[in-house]
Structure formats: C-alpha cells, structure tokens
C-alpha cells in the first residue's frame, strides 16, 4: 500500500526467518524507528474491537465526516488474503495482520510556534520528511 520499498529479507539469501516473540519484535521495531527519528513508538493488537477505529473511507473526506459516497475516499477492508493491495477505491489488508505500529515524529517547538511567515512550513515539513525512512 502506498510507496513501496524493496529490501532483501533474510530468507531471500538462505537465512532462517526471524522467530522472535511479539515483545522482542516490538523492541526491535521501536529501536529502529527511534534511530530513524521517531519520538514515540507504540504497538496495538488488531482485533474485532480495534478494527472499529479504522475509518471506512480514507482520502479526500476521511475521518468522522466521511460517508460511503464521499469523493476521493477509499474503503479500508480487512480480507482473507495473503498480500495487501490497493485499487482505485479500496485498501485491502490481510486478516492475518495482527498488529499495527504507531509513531510520532519530533517537531521543532519554536519553529511550530512561529509558523506565520516565509519559513512557516519548515518545522512540519522537516518532521514529515523523515517518514519515508521509516516506511521503507
């Protein structure tokens, strides 16, 4: 979904697949995200209750004001598939995905406080510019 980055996995070169516990996996992901600039890193299990927090329409009119027919919106659907995919009107996520990773990015407090002016967007831009490192 979204921009895709391809990297060589250990099993692609004959090494065994990582078999850590969820706690070990979280610590590894947290350390990697913090190394790449994330401030807070969290993990939540996706179950029948937390799936209700996913907006059913995402895009031009996402969030609490989105409806089924809003322009620019895509359906977020959990399905019995192996690989996630994206079409023109849907984000399909496998039901086997058990966890979601959340993170925040540090942003300049002083730069954000003084956003009116010619350099108004630098604090926000710089904070979000680091996201691509974390998504790959």
Say what the pTM is. 0.65
21-43 tens-digit pLDDT: 989 999 999 998 888 888 899 99
Give the C-alpha distances (Å, rounded to integers) separating 81 from 4, 11, 57, 77: 18, 21, 20, 11
| Burial label, 65 (beta-carbon count in 10 A; 0-12, 13-18, 19+) | exposed
pLDDT value for 63: 47
Per-residue pLDDT tens over the stretch 43-55: 999 998 888 887 7
pLDDT in tens for each of the 136 residues of the chain? Answer: 665 666 777 888 989 888 899 899 999 999 988 888 888 999 999 998 888 887 766 555 544 444 554 555 677 889 999 988 888 788 889 999 889 998 888 777 777 777 766 666 777 777 777 666 666 5
Structure tokens at 1: 């979904």
- The closest alpha carbon to 127, from 103, 113, 101, 108, belongs to 108
Q: Where are the domains of the chain?
A: 47-97
Q: Are 55 and 62 in contact (CB under 8 A)?
A: yes
Q: Who contacts 67 (Cβ-Cβ below 8 Å, separation ≥6)?
A: 57, 61
Helices (H), 15-90: 22-35
């Amino acid at each position: 979904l979204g921009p895709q980055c391809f990297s060589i996995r250990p099993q692609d070169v004959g090494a065994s697949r990582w078999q850590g516990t969820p706690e070990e996996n979280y610590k590894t992901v947290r350390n990697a995200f913090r190394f790449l600039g994330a401030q807070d890193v969290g993990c939540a299990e996706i179950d029948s209750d937390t799936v209700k927090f996913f907006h059913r329409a995402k895009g031009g009119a996402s969030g609490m004001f989105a409806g089924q027919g809003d322009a620019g919106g895509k359906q977020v659907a959990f399905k019995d598939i192996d690989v996630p995919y994206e079409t023109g009107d849907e984000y399909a996520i496998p039901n086997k995905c058990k966890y979601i990773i959340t993170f925040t990015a540090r942003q300049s407090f002083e730069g954000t406080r003084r956003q009116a002016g010619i350099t108004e967007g630098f604090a926000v831009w710089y904070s979000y510019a680091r996201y691509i490192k974390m998504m790959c």
